[in-house]
Structure 1
Amino acid sequence: MNRPALIWRHFRPALALLVLLGAAGLALDAFAQEPLQWGAYLSMMAFYAVIFGLGAYAGNRETSKSDDHLILAGRKLPLWLAVFTMSATWVGGGYINGTAEYTATAGLVWVQAPWGYALSLVIGGLFFARTMRAHRFRTLLDPFRQRFGQRAVSLLFLPALSGELFWTAAILTALGTTFGAIAGIDTQAAIIISAAITMAYTALGGLWAVALTDFVQLLLLFGGLALAIPYAMGSAGGLSAAWGIYTDTYGQAAKLWPTREALGAYYWNWWDYALLLIFGGIPWQVYFQRVLSARTPQIAVRLSLVAGLVCLLAAVPAVLIGIAAQAVDWAGMGLPAPPDAASTLPWAIRYLTPYGVGIVGLGAVAAAVMSSADSSMLSASSMAGWNIVKPLSRKKLDMSQLVKKLIWISGTAATLIALNIKSVYELWFLCSDFVYCLLFPALCAALFDPKANTPGVVAGFGIAAALRFGGGDATLGLPVLLPYPMIEDGVCLFPFRTLSMACGLAAILIVSRLTQMYCPAKPLQVMER
């Protein structure tokens, strides 16, 4: 079959999807309180159909049925494509929407995620990527299984899975608010439609589908936001006027570097979150999936370093639009203000730009959001299939079919979470919170401490979990249980997350050496091809 015919065969389902979404639009329009924005809706549907078709086509670019094919693209990702998919994975809905949200509502000093995650990619590339790729691991949990056994893997899988699910939920929330702002439909309906499409093409194509769609989505993001920035700033009177209003509003908090004057009692809390983002951005399957899919360990290092720079640059448009959204006199212009903090970016693009530019800009944001949602669904399913279900099953399982089923399960779970959250940025922080406190110490011990053993890592996990959850969590509604200092309005401002991580790591080192005679440490080994 020639290439045009092959492409047509794989894009026919996309046309069917387009028809189905058109019918869904008619239903939504019939029951919605406000009329559907048909031009914007059809534009988004066309974008979704193209992405779906590209994912379906990518899934058939290889005939290999090996375990590495679906979850690691056969370890054949070239450097340029690996950089795009790594960057697009981090520069997603939580990243773009969350950066604009906190820029507009809290001040630049609290916009920590862009540079924090950029540094995490650089540190991950310099110290972790080469070792992981050289040992030919398939997931983040493989070194844990080698060093500490299957029971420890099952324990460490819990924060890894919860992190991916919360991450996906934050992304889907951003996608729903973006899609809803474009087409004027209910956010929950937008979340459900977007999640279903993302799950479908991810299950069809695996990492190749994710990587190739990421390439298109990242280009759309940069182009769309570049179009929107001049109009958004023009609505605020230009960059100089907007910056003047912004600094008058936030004062010292309008600067990136923290000062006690700007942060007050939150000074050490700021540093706690900063370290959380830098080191908590490393122990992620969604990160190591790209590292492990690289052709060589050297490429794995380089793609991490370049992606860190791209991630930092990608935050600039979101920051500028966030500044404009804060400086604009919404009521004076006769425009509705954003209904909630999470809607800052899509609302600014919709109402502060011309109609056509708004559709392109919001479509670009939707592209960025979708590029992270598919990655997280695939990552959670890869870990669950390869490290939990397959080792514990007595039957011989087809890894590809197993992961495809798990994509639907994990995607559905994340969708249910997304339907019940309010802030993209808060949930985004919570993702790194869990992996920083509970997974980062174990990963460091597994890769760099030859004496780390199972009792040590279990003890470290238990101590870190007790100290972390003892500090409470407003997002999850958990009260402060331990007598930490610096408690204000029921929130602990003491850097207990970093304390939890450090104590967990210390416990692994100490307990492992005390129990070495009874439970000798196992070496790290290169996995079979």
Structure 2
Amino acid sequence: MQTTHLVLITTYLLVMVGIGLYYSRSSKVRTGEDFLFAGRSLSTPVMIATLIVTWVGSGTIIGGANFAYNYGPMAGMIFFAGTPLGILVLLFAARRIRRAARHTVPELLEARFGSGVRTVAAVVTTIAYVGLVASQFVGGGYVLSLITPLTTTQGALIVAAVVTILTVTGGLFSVAYTDFVSAILVFGALIVAVPLILVAVGGLPVYWEGLPEAARTPSGGLSPLQLLGYFLPLFLLLLADQNLYQRLAAAKDERAARNSTLGMLIASFFVFVPVIMLATSAAVLMPGINGDESVLRLATDGHLPTLIGGLLLAGAVAFVVTTGSSFMLSGASNIAFDLFARFSGGKVGERGTLVVQRLSVVAIALVAVALGLYFPTVLDLQMYSYTIYGAAITPAVLAVLFWKRATTAGAVAALITGTGVTIGWEIAGAPGGFNGVIVALPAAVLALVVASLLTKAPDRRTLEAAGVD
């Protein structure tokens, strides 16, 4: 156990908790709106930081690294390509999203498709986001188990406690500003680590020759359908990620929302390219290890200088904390705004909604801890959660933004079909080795189109009510 590593991570966690407590003051967070949108006052630099580190969590530094470790750099680029491609789509839709700002994605769907769709979408979103929170807890447990005598489960419990405290105190105020601090740490650690690891490997020619033969191919030994099964979930989640939509809604205006999205696009390359290089270098230096630990073991096994390794591990924890708190906050908004406030008849008031959000954060944390014990790896957990959201919610959201002919029946059909097929595919054991998105997405899109064409088209008033006409 490296004392330097432990000190750096402990210091980082204490700073994060301190920021959360600072923004828990009643003068900052008075209502559910403040808790969720930070008073719609976030500057562009803070927006860029919170967008990128919200998106790149343990699914990048652990799950994505696992994929790159096992299948090579070119396949890794295909896996992560969903991020910049999805951001490009968001770039064109950013102003529409800001203009149609709602508390949640299900609320956006309600404006177009009605209250029944909102309820179904809220349940689906919460299920998916609990899974994503669980993946962050498990990822954090990996980090702590590598540098302390703690087991992965014990480490996950500590991370869960820190993330919950951070989220339940200041809401988006604390999440956004801890994201800003974390972004500086993450970018610095990744950019410095890559050249040092390439030197440790022996240079680029040695790195390339040291990779397994299959890992030097574009597919990494996977079939085209298998590779597509890894690309699509990330891409689809980003297209309609409620987290990102809420961040864009928290921007000061439409221009800030668009500029922040452009900044996120540029920043994304400074995250996933270094992660791919580090993970595949680990495949050369440490063949046969658990791919989930590939980037982390570069630090703990002495392949990096102690200080840089400590910063890299702290950066990994930063990924976990920032993304976990974001998905936790977003899932709590579904429970508070889409379910509780709606079915309570609006009698709870702003302060009551704030209390429900905070209680929901705690509930999500408890369920996420239990779910994290079920899935064997972060990559498995993230693929499952991404697919539920991407196959069920994304087709309906894109229909709101881009297809005026979509109807309520089509949206309901897509939500139920996407969720049902994903869960059924997982229970069946992923036949053929394909991720569920390969069957769930076409099934959901087909259900959306067929049901919409078989029912009456929405009138212009309905389209205007959604705010995207």
Using the size of structure 1 for normalisation, the TM-score is: 0.80
Cα gap change, 1:320 to 1:190, in 2 (>3 Å): same
Partner of 1:3: none
In the TM superposition, 1:154-169 aligns within 5 A as 154-169=119-134
Alignment equivalent of 2:348, drawn from 373, 376, 396: 396
Partner Cα separation in structure 2 for residue 133 and residue 494 of structure 1 = 29
Q: Compare relative contact order (CA 8 Å, sep 6+) and give the higher one, 1 or 2.
A: 2
Question: Structure 1 stretch 92-101 or stretch 106-115: which is displaced more?
Answer: 106-115
Task: Identify the residue that residue 318 of structure 1 maps to in structure 2.
Answer: 275
In 2, the alpha carbon distance for the partners of 1:46 and 1:306 equals 28
Max Rg structure: 1
Give the unaligned 5+ runs of structure 2: none
Find the residue that maps to 1:281 and give its secondary structure: helix
Tell me the CA shift for residue 407 of structure 1. Answer: 0.8
Query: Using the alignment, how far apart are the partners of 1:353 and 1:37 within structure 2?
Result: 12
Query: Match of 1:250, as an amino acid?
Result: E
1:463 touches 1:503 (CA, 8 Å); kept in 2?
A: no
The corresponding residue for 2:465 is 525
1:221-280 residue CA offsets vs partner (Å, 9 max, x unmatched): 12223343344334322333112211xx134x435x55xxx656x213323443443233
SS at match of 2:456: helix
Residue 93 (structure 1) aligned to one of 46, 58, 71: 58
- Change over 3 Å in CA distance of 1:469–1:431 after alignment to 2: closer
Change (3 A) 1:521 1:446: farther
Q: Give the match for residue 150 of structure 2.
A: 185
Amino acid of the residue matched to residue 396 of structure 1? V
Answer yes or no: is 1:278 the counterpart of 2:238. no
The answer to whether 1:237 aligns with 2:202 is yes
Give CA-to-partner distance per residue, 1:295-329, whole Å, 9 cap, x none.
Answer: 11222122122202211221122112112211115
Write the distance in 2 (CA, Å) between the matches of 1:153 and 1:493.
Answer: 24
What amino acid sits opposite 2:281 in the alignment?
A: A
Question: Within 5 Å, which residues of 2 pair with 1:350-389?
Answer: 350-351=300-301, 352-389=303-340
Could you tell which deviates more after superposition, 298-307 or 505-514? 505-514
Q: 1:199 corresponds to which letter in structure 2? A: T
Contact 2:336/2:356 (CA < 8 Å) preserved in 1? Answer: yes
Q: Which shows bigger deviation, 422-431 or 493-502?
A: 493-502
Q: Give the deviation of 1:429 after TM superposition.
A: 2.1
Q: Note if contact 1:342-1:422 (Cα within 8 Å) is conserved in structure 2.
A: no
8 Å CA contact 2:57, 2:320 repeated in 1: yes
Are the counterparts in 2 of residues 445 and 508 from structure 1 also a CA contact under 8 Å? Answer: no
Which residue is 1:117 aligned to?
A: 83
Q: Does the CA contact (< 8 Å) of 1:115 and 1:312 recur in 2?
A: no
Map residues 403-422 of structure 1 onto 2, 5 A cutoff.
403-422=357-376
Residue identity in the other structure for 1:346: L
SS in 1 for 2:463: coil
Residues 324 and 479 (structure 1), Cα distance of their counterparts in 2 relative to 1, 3 Å cut: closer
Aligned-pair distance for 1:198? 1.0
Q: Against the structure 1 CA distance between its residues 177 and 409, is the aligned structure 2 distance closer, same or farther, given a 3 Å change threshold?
A: same
Match of 1:348 in 2: 298
Q: Which amino acid aligns with 2:185?
A: L
Q: Note if contact 1:179-1:362 (Cα within 8 Å) is conserved in structure 2.
A: no
1:364, 1:467 → 2: CA distance?
36
- The 5 A counterparts of 1:130-529 are 130-246=95-211, 249-251=212-214, 253-255=215-217, 257-258=218-219, 263=221, 266-328=223-285, 338=289, 340-351=290-301, 352-394=303-345, 395-397=347-349, 398-465=352-419, 467-468=421-422, 472-473=425-426, 477-479=427-429, 488=432, 491=434, 495-513=438-456, 522-525=462-465
Unaligned runs of 5+ in 1: 1-35, 331-336, 481-486
8 Å CA contact 2:71–2:221 kept in 1: the answer is no
Name the CA distance, whole Å, in 1 between partners of 2:28 and 2:393.
35
Number of aligned positions between the proteins: 462
Relative distance call for 1:60 and 1:500 in structure 2 (3 A) is same
Higher helix proportion (structure 1 or 2): 2
**What residue identity is the alignment partner of 2:235?**
I
Q: Is the 8 Å Cα contact of residues 452 and 512 (structure 1) preserved in structure 2?
A: no
Q: Secondary structure at the match of 2:462?
A: coil
User: In the alignment, which residue of structure 2 is the partner of 1:21?
Assistant: none
Question: Deviation of residue 181 (structure 1)?
Answer: 1.3
Q: Pick closer, same or farther for the CA change 1:526–1:496 going to 2, 3 Å.
A: closer
Partners of 1:404 and 1:95 in 2: CA distance: 27
The one-letter amino acid of 1:327's match is V
Secondary structure of the equivalent of 2:105? coil
Q: Alignment partner of 1:512: what SS? A: coil
SS of the residue 1:522 aligns to: helix
